Structure 1
Amino acid sequence: MNGFIASLLLLTFLCPPCQGYGQDMGRAEQKARKLFERELGRKPVHNAFLTVASPSNGLHWQFFGGEGLDGQPVQGNTPFLIASIGKTFTATLVMQLAAEGQLRPSDPIGGFLPDSLLRGLHVWKGRDYSKEITIGQLLQHTSGLADWFEDQPKQGPSFLEQMLASPGKFWEPSEVLAYARQQLSAHFAPGQGFHYSDTGYFLLGLLLEAHYGQPLHEVLQRQLLEPLGLEQVSMHLRSAPLRAFAAAPAPLYLEELEVSTYRSLSADWAGGGLLATADDLARFMQALAYGEVLPKSTWQSMQAWVPETKGMSYGFGLRRFQLRGLSPLLPDLTLIGHSGSTGSFLYYCPELDVFMAGSFNQVSYARRHVVFLSKLCMTLKKVL
């Protein structure tokens, strides 16, 4: 009887807070949904996805909306192009080798790739630094290498213009590097600044292929996707997911131009050429942050931050937003992960132990999504 009374007393004291917490979370979810739907309703956005997950808080929200190319509504398991979030996957593969003692971030790339491939990629003030660039500098965008995707060429059309003009062309990494070598110029000597460079991540992709003797998409599958059970991730135009996607990739827009069907997107490769669902992206980031992929010490070493711009810094395939650094009106929270030029995002907030993954599939949202995530974090901070 005494045990029964004790149980009743325990329930009396515990249930109201539990109920209140559940009600608070329910209101927070509704507010998050409204934030998401507001962005989805903005004119340039045609479809969008968001997963908010926190195992420690028992949280898993999934929002999605818009139409696919077939005119049917997208679903939560519709895959989308993740753009530069792929750099976090590439960096993780490289850091697996570092954790195993196969390489060090301070090692020059010339010790892993042939001179014939590197020569002429980084020439600064008459000196060719291509072989001297370190793996860490490639990971961190401090190599000084030009960016084949955004930098303007010496002459002729930019690479993006070529991709749009020839949508049916399949690009090999060697062709992209040839363009960078012939048309672009280095920005500074290695280690002397920050310049975001997809070219550097191509060299990391080639390093991985040389080490494993396999194409990059096979390395990705063997080293990350299979061990983590990430069945809904693949390298676009180069591999299939472990389990067939339930739908075609979500449409991707450059303003009003739909480009998801362009074979020229094959150029992205090691810098971000992956397809994934929001849930699998969140699961990947969770595994990375919780030490399931790399030792905790290696995860910490990836957070060797250098300034990128106001409120932002960059590590080894990771970007960090310090919200208070963006605006004094924002909460003192940190986001660690990566963004993509398509409005894609994958971030972990360590203070709240929350993972946020998704995309607005609109190139004009490459910056706007940061505003959205800031508002989402403000909502979450009130209940977590």
Structure 2
Amino acid sequence: MKTFFLVLIVSLFFLGCRTTPAHPKFQVILDKAVKKKSNNLSGVSMTVLAPTLNISWSGAAGYDSKEKTHKLSAEQPFRIASVTKTFVASAILRLQEEQKLKLEDSIAAYISEHHYQLLKSDGYDPDIITIKQCLQHRSGLFDYAEGNSSYIDSILKNPTKKWTRTQQLEFAMEAGDPLGLPGEVYGYSDTGYILLGEIIENSTGQNLAQALRELLKFDALGLKSTWMEGLEESPAGLLPPVHRYIGNYDATGLDNTIDLYGGGGLTSNTKDLAVFFDALFNGEIYKDSETLRIMLEDPGPLPYGAESEDYRMGLGQDGVLGITGYVHFGFWGTVWVHMPKPNYTIVVNFTNQPEAAGIVTSTTEMLQKLATSK
């Protein structure tokens, strides 16, 4: 996907584990990562959840900004960027459970006529692009957000602009051409996910924030620090958010509409995220266990030997020594990983996007050692 994502993937997937309640050692990992000068890491928060091992731990080290004026708390929320895609994909699959759509349906039946015509104007055929292809980044849609540098350049030149989904779609049509025919090409695409966000809204009659909250049981799960900034009110009593950066530019004050409508948009903290992903993989989100299997199924090779990443529906897959794991990264510095065996979830948020600090690696190695010694 992106360079940071690829670097993290290399270090993420070591053997999972059973552990004993050695929770303070997780804090040592964070403290060491922040203190190591070569990491250039201002701060980091992490949650580890392993329900079958009786582990539920959250902690933080360092600061919530590069300025290092405020100590980071594990409770502080942050914009999660593309990690939102896992939520959007989960909501689409819930809608299939409710028989409000089918994954093989064309997106044309669910998007506005204006958006349909915008796609047609740039050489796309919305009638042959399916919901499933958007979920798996096989739609051929150019990525408005990171297909090239033009979108980031644009938001930095006009940081107070409030974007709409239509403007983001228009930007995609202007900034790049179709990547190829649907189903025959892989290309990570926020454009496909903002259309999925529209499909959720049109299928439920709610805005995306309301739909995600109800379809994915935010309240029942106790996600008290998770909301879609700009589409709903923020929860009361929250701590100040962790700063977000584009390079050295403090992007915390940028309007959340730059990263909204489906490709991103949610704000959360590591604890809430870990609770959600634990629930997702342990039967608390979907009505039918078959739905999770569909979400995780191998999308298969592309025709003609086209290159692809192993991206399922709203998440990627990787593994080591036969152990399968799932992962997603967010542009601002968030990563989650779930290992079904022995069933644990790790969520890490970096204040300032280090290339690699070894935190997930060290955490999984610790869990493995504890498991083998038990």
1:199 partnered with 2:191: yes
Distance 2:165 2:224 in 1: 25
Q: What amino acid is the match of 2:232? A: S
**Contact 1:115–1:131, Cα closer than 8 Å, also in 2:** no
Structure 2 residue matching 1:128: 3-state secondary structure: coil
For structure 1, list consecutive stretches of 5 or more residues without a partner in the other structure.
1-20, 325-330
For 1:234-313, list aligned pairs within 5 A.
234-241=227-234, 243-263=235-255, 266-294=258-286, 295-306=288-299, 313=310
Aligned residues: 344
1:61 offset after TM fit, Å?
2.0
Aligned partner of 2:30 in structure 1 is 36
Of the structure 1 ranges 200-209 and 101-110, higher mean CA displacement relative to structure 2 is found in 101-110
User: What CA deviation, in whole Å up to 9, does each residue of 1:63-101 have, x standing for no partner?
Assistant: 212334693212111001111110011111111011122
Cα offsets for 1:230-277 (capped at 9, x unmatched):
111011233234x42431110112333211121165333311111101
| Cα-to-partner distance string for 1:326-384 (whole Å, 9 max, x where unaligned) | xxxxx55332132112220122111121111121133454xx37x54233222212223
Report SS of the residue matched to 1:50. strand
CA distance in 2, matches of 1:159, 1:100: 36
2:76 counterpart residue number: 78
SS of residue matched to 2:366: helix
Q: Which residue of 2 aligns with 1:316?
A: 313
1:159 partnered with 2:155: no
Query: How has the CA–CA distance of structure 1 residues 36 and 123 changed in structure 2, closer, same or farther, with 3 Å as cutoff?
Result: farther
Q: Identify if the C-alpha distance between structure 1 residues 181 and 255 changes in structure 2 by more than 3 Å, giving closer, same or farther.
A: closer
Aligned residue runs from structure 1 range 1-384, under 5 A: 25-26=21-22, 29=23, 31-41=25-35, 42=37, 44-68=40-64, 71-121=69-119, 128-152=124-148, 158-224=150-216, 225-241=218-234, 243-263=235-255, 266-294=258-286, 295-306=288-299, 313-322=310-319, 324=320, 332-365=322-355, 368=356, 371-384=358-371
What TM-score does the superposition give when structure 1 sets the normalisation length? 0.82
Root-mean-square deviation (Å): 2.6
Whole-angstrom CA distance in 2 between matches of 1:195 and 1:303: 18
Runs of 4+ in structure 1 off by over 4 angstroms are: 307-312
Equivalent-residue separation in structure 2 for 1:93 and 1:283 (angstroms): 16
Cα offsets for 1:204-251 (capped at 9, x unmatched):
00011111222111212232222322111011233234x424311101
Q: Does the CA-based 8 Å contact 1:237-1:266 persist in structure 2?
A: no
SS of residue in 2 equivalent to 1:342: coil
In structure 1, give the amino acid aligned to 2:157: A
CA separation of 1:263 and 1:139: change in aligned 2, threshold 3 A: same
Specify which structure has the bigger relative contact order, considering alpha-carbon pairs within 8 angstroms and separated by 6 or more residues: 2
What one-letter code is carried by the residue in structure 2 that aligns with 1:184? G
Which secondary structure does the structure 2 equivalent of 1:53 belong to? Answer: strand
Whichever residue aligns with residue 303 of structure 1, its letter is L
